[in-house]
Amino acid sequence: MKANIALGLMIFALVCIALVQNTQAVSPPPDGGYAGGNTAEGQNALLSLTSGTFNTAVGFASLKSNTIGNVNTALGVNALSLNTTGANNTATGGNVLYSNTTGVENTASGVYALFHNTAGNYNAANGALSLGSNTTGDANTADGTQALFSNTTGDQNTANGAIALYSNTTGFWNTATGVAALHNNTAGIENTAVGMTALYGNTTGGANTAVGFQAGFGSDGGGNTAVGVQALFNTSGGGNTAVGIGALFSPHTGNNNTAIDVGALRNAYIGDDNIALGDGAGANLFTGDNNIYIYNLGIDGESDTIRIGAVGTHTATFIAGISGTAVNGSPVVVDANGQLGVAPSSERFKDEIKAMNKASEAILALEPVTFRYRKEIDAEHTLRFGLVAEEVAKVNPALVTRDKNGEIYTVRYEAVNAMLLNEFLKEHRKNEEQQATIAQLKSGMEALIATVKEHAAQIQKVSAQLEANKPTLQLVANNQ
């Protein structure tokens, strides 16, 4: 770039020398006021004027080519030198608005500012070489050395700071505030960068917003928002939001991620639709999709996971809208790692299915107790009924769960219930067998009673017959 500028200056110097040698002075030479409210001071100033009015030219060859342009002000060597019909332009500095011919209402201050502008309108350039390459772009504002330097036809851009939007050529509706902000943007549109080198590497991405030193520095995607030093430092993805120092820092190709707080999702480089809230939230995630982390580092490679809180830091959880709310669903369980879910019962999730048989007899050795939780757990000190996990473990270690340190924590009451059911069913079957035996015995007893009754009736009948025959037997005996 410097080489090109130096070459341009050399060529310009040669042209100036040639002009000095070949230009014919007007007769009489201009000195002060002209008709029509025009003012010219300097060799060849307003040299070609015909009917233009209220122009002011101060400096060698300033407004030299102006013919009918009105209300132009040129202060400095070659300022507005090629202007012919352009009106309401203001140029302050050497070679400022040099190439302008028909552009109107442009304002430029600083050597070579708006140098190449020909027909662009409503531009404002303040600083050496600011908007230096603009030709037909309209309504641009550049404040700072070489701000919007490469812009040619882009419209309605605003650059505040040295070399801000330096490379922009055709992009429009961009705003850059800070040294080198949106420096590499060429055709990107609707971008906003506030901070030194914010969105520096963006070239064609659109609708990005970056606020902070090096925010979105290497990003070239679209629809991204970065707020904070080096937030969303390098990404080609779109629809990402990073708020906080170093949030979404690493080179990233994912889309629609949200990271809020210092270093949130700072190492994620492949993944979509992740959300991280809190200092360092999701910092362990390098690849993964659809995760939600709230003050949790996360685990690399996982997807579709929600993690809330940090182990060892957060020791209690309160969520409004749960207690007292009636729902129809399955009981929720929590494992030793803090994973929340529902224990499935379908055979699709089970292996080695066997009858429980005598395994459930262990519960017969359990000793139910009454107890109260310590007041730091239950301030109301409510009387409760249950088991002591340590005592249960002595009976059957499989009936307790342990914490992450391997310490006994609680009783697997769902397993106890299943074992109770098995023991109940065993007793129920025994009872059924006993009832069947009793029924069989009862039936046999009834048959026996019927037989006894029948025999008794027969005996009674025989006895009656014997009684009836007794007198005859006595008579026979007497006759003998």
pTM (2 decimals)? 0.79
C-alpha–C-alpha distance, residues 26 and 225, integer Å: 60
The tokens of 148 are what?
A: 């919007």
- DSSP sequence for 291-337: -EEES----TT--S-EEES-TTT------TT-TT----SPPPEE-TT
- E strand spans, 253-326: 258-260, 275-277, 292-294, 306-308
One pLDDT digit (tens) per residue for the chain, 480 residues? 433 543 354 345 334 433 443 433 344 534 568 889 999 999 999 999 999 999 999 999 999 999 999 999 999 999 999 999 999 999 999 999 999 999 999 999 999 999 999 999 999 999 999 999 999 999 999 999 999 999 999 999 999 999 999 999 999 999 999 999 999 999 999 999 999 999 999 999 999 999 999 999 999 999 999 999 999 999 899 999 999 999 999 998 999 999 999 999 999 999 999 999 999 999 999 999 999 999 999 999 999 999 999 988 998 899 999 888 888 888 888 888 888 888 888 999 999 999 999 999 999 999 999 999 999 889 999 999 999 999 999 999 999 999 888 999 999 999 999 999 999 999 999 999 999 999 999 998 988 888 888 888 888 888 888 887 776 656 666 666
Domains detected in the chain: 1-145 (no CATH), 173-310 (2.150.10)
Q: What is the DSSP letter of 58?
A: E
Q: Which helix (H) or strand (E) holds 333?
A: strand 333-334
DSSP element (H, E) containing 209? strand 209-211
The CA radius of gyration of the chain, in Å to the nearest whole number, is 49
